[in-house]
């Protein structure tokens, strides 16, 4: 007969109780009611947050955007072709965020900060919310440091400061992206981290920009966030916020950053597509009512931080494409009203061979000369005035047959000033070279030359000053003032170079 020993049984039961791992997991789940066109309707997910990430059974991630009484509208971050009606969905319990680190420099990533350049994973120990609040009033200070673009027309007449938002606006094929990439190239050695965000662009265009940056060694201080035209609308909508989050990481670490959004109107179109599919009521041009907030919450993240927050900065250059010069359309007017000025690129000027095709008359910078060094202020004021008078005279001269000598001289000077503003693509100039160029033009040294000779003379003059009068650049770099000594050196160099140039031309 088997004897039952109570102490053994109690020991076994006690051991089993101790081994029992009673871990209770509460998962917020739901069922897919309907899926299609990048949108899924979910029943359940009772405690989901607005903007929370949700995960479908087959691995696709989505964002809960519409929280309705009987279902949740989710936008998908993928094609969602494998999602089936009736399959389960679970809430992730967190808002969309991305990993951030110094290792992102030199890489091309998508809107989820995943590398797409085929160079392996990126290591990151920190993460940031894709959408984080903009710095408050107390944590900002006014913009006072220049962000040099390397383009004479901008740095002299429409200056951009670190922490400013300046819109680049114009028709297609007027050189908007070229202005932005030249600005990135000019940040070499300036300790500015650049983030280029391509939204809904052709993959070939993005590849071209990346190649230019790599060839010029600019990828060392640059991050490219790309969502091309074939990407899901959700990812095109998120890409600018990802770019801003990456730039913020560096801004809050006391560094200067430059973010280029190319272009927010494509983001607005992606957002319109999502909103209409989610059955949100359409407004003007079928955009949803909160399309202004879409861009304002993005561009307000650009700031110049105060000394108590480390003096970092984030400068934003959004690029908006207009249809046949119509700046009064919905998205252009929205972005103009959010930014601190705009650079208007004209198709007519571009076709006339004036490149960069900046229409100085209607371009403005609401920061103005606060974002210029003193030396630039000293020479740029007269340039603005002379070009404005020239534009007025040129319109008048079309109808007048006989012009007096003074008017003819002023027209000739204006044509030469317009010529000195022309620059080749990917050839930004240092601020010292710009000051030298402007001074030569406004003081009449170019008046004796033919218009075709102006650019050749200026290129040779810049080389001549660097080789024979290095003190000129040293004075400007150290004092940032166009001193009498610097002026005397420059006058001497211009005179010497003019004699050499005229001898060469005669020979």
The answer to whether 173 is a known ligand-binding residue is yes
Residue among 141, 366, 455, 500 flagged as catalytic: 366
The answer to whether 172 is a known ligand-binding residue is yes
Closest by CA to 234, choosing from 103, 112, 385, 387, is 112
**Six token digits for residue 153:** 């027309």
The answer to whether 228 is a known ligand-binding residue is no
With contact defined as beta carbons under 8 Å apart, do 144 and 327 qualify?
A: no
In the Cβ-directed half-sphere of 271, how many Cα atoms lie within 13 Å?
24
If one counts every other C-beta atom within 10 angstroms of the C-beta of residue 308, the result is 9
With contact defined as beta carbons under 8 Å apart, do 238 and 130 qualify?
A: yes
The neighbouring-strand residues paired with 401 are none
DSSP-derived letter for residue 34 is E
DSSP-derived letter for residue 146 is B
The answer to whether 174 is a known ligand-binding residue is yes
The neighbouring-strand residues paired with 75 are 39, 63
DSSP string, 91-144: EEEEE-EEEE-GGGTT-EE-TTS-B-SSS-----SEEEESS-PPP-STTB----
The answer to whether 434 is a known ligand-binding residue is no
With contact defined as beta carbons under 8 Å apart, do 331 and 264 qualify?
A: yes
With contact defined as beta carbons under 8 Å apart, do 115 and 108 qualify?
A: yes
**Of all helices (H) and strands (E), which one includes residue 335?**
helix 330-338
CA torsion angle 213 168 191 226 (round to 10): -50
**Six token digits for residue 436:** 């030298």
* Strand pairing report for 29-36 and 39-44: antiparallel
**Six token digits for residue 141:** 């200070």
Rounded Cα distance between 334 and 291, Å, is: 9
If one counts every other C-beta atom within 10 angstroms of the C-beta of residue 182, the result is 23
Residue 366 designated active-site:
yes
Rounded Cα distance between 97 and 152, Å, is: 39
Rounded Cα distance between 196 and 316, Å, is: 10
Rounded Cα distance between 142 and 447, Å, is: 40
DSSP string, 438-500: HHHHHTTTTTTS-GGGHHHHHHHHHHHHHHH-HHHHHHHHHH-S--HHHHHHHHHHHHHHHHH
With contact defined as beta carbons under 8 Å apart, do 295 and 337 qualify?
A: no
The answer to whether 114 is a known ligand-binding residue is no
In the Cβ-directed half-sphere of 441, how many Cα atoms lie within 13 Å?
33
**Residue ranges at the known binding site for ATP:** 170-177
Catalytic residues: 366
**Residue ranges at the known binding site:** 170-177
């Amino acid at each position: 007969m088997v004897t039952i020993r109570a102490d053994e049984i109690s020991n076994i039961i006690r051991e089993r109780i101790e081994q029992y791992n009673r871990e209770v997991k509460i998962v917020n789940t739901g069922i897919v009611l309907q899926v299609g066109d990048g949108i899924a309707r979910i029943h359940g997910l009772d405690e989901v947050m607005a903007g929370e990430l949700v995960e479908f059974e087959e691995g696709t991630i989505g964002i809960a955007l519409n929280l309705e009484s009987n279902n949740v509208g989710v936008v998908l971050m993928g094609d969602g072709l494998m999602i089936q009606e009736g399959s389960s969905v679970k809430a992730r319990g967190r808002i969309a965020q991305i990993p951030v680190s110094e290792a992102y420099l030199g890489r091309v990533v998508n809107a989820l900060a995943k590398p797409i350049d085929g160079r392996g994973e990126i290591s990151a120990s920190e993460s940031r919310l894709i959408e984080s609040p903009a710095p408050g009033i107390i944590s900002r200070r006014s913009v006072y440091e220049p962000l040099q673009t390397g383009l004479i027309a901008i740095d002299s007449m429409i200056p951009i400061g670190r922490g400013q938002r300046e819109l680049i606006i114009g028709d297609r094929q007027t050189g908007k992206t070229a202005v932005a990439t030249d600005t990135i190239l000019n940040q070499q050695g300036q300790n500015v981290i650049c983030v280029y965000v391509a939204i809904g662009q052709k993959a070939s265009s993005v590849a071209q920009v990346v190649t230019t940056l790599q060839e010029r060694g600019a990828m060392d201080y640059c991050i490219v966030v790309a969502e091309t035209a074939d990407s899901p609308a959700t990812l095109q909508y998120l890409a600018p916020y990802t770019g801003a989050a990456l730039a913020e990481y560096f801004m809050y670490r006391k560094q200067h950053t430059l973010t280029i959004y190319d272009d927010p109107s494509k983001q607005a179109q992606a957002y319109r597509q999502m909103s209409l599919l989610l059955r949100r009521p359409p407004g003007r041009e079928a955009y949803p009512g909160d399309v202004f907030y879409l861009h304002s919450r993005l561009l307000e993240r650009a700031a110049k931080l105060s000394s108590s927050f480390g003096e970092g900065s984030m400068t934003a250059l959004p690029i908006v494409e207009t249809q046949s010069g119509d700046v009064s359309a919905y998205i252009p007017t929205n972005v103009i009203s959010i930014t601190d000025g705009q650079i208007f690129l004209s198709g007519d000027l571009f076709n006339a061979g004036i490149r960069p095709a900046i229409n100085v008359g209607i371009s403005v910078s609401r920061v103005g000369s606060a974002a210029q060094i003193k030396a630039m202020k000293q020479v740029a004021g007269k340039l603005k005035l002379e070009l404005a008078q020239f534009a007025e005279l040129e319109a008048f001269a079309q109808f007048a047959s006989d012009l007096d000598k003074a008017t003819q001289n002023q027209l000739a000077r204006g044509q030469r000033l317009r010529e000195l503003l022309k620059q080749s693509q990917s050839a930004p100039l240092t601020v010292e070279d710009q000051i030298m160029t402007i001074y030569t033009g406004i003081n009449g040294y170019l008046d004796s030359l033919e218009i075709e000779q102006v650019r050749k003379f200026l290129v040779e003059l810049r080389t001549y000053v660097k080789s024979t009068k290095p003190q000129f650049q040293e004075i400007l770099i150290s004092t940032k003032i166009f001193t009498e000594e610097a002026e005397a050196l420059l006058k001497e160099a211009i005179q010497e170079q003019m004699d050499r140039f005229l001898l060469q031309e005669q020979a």
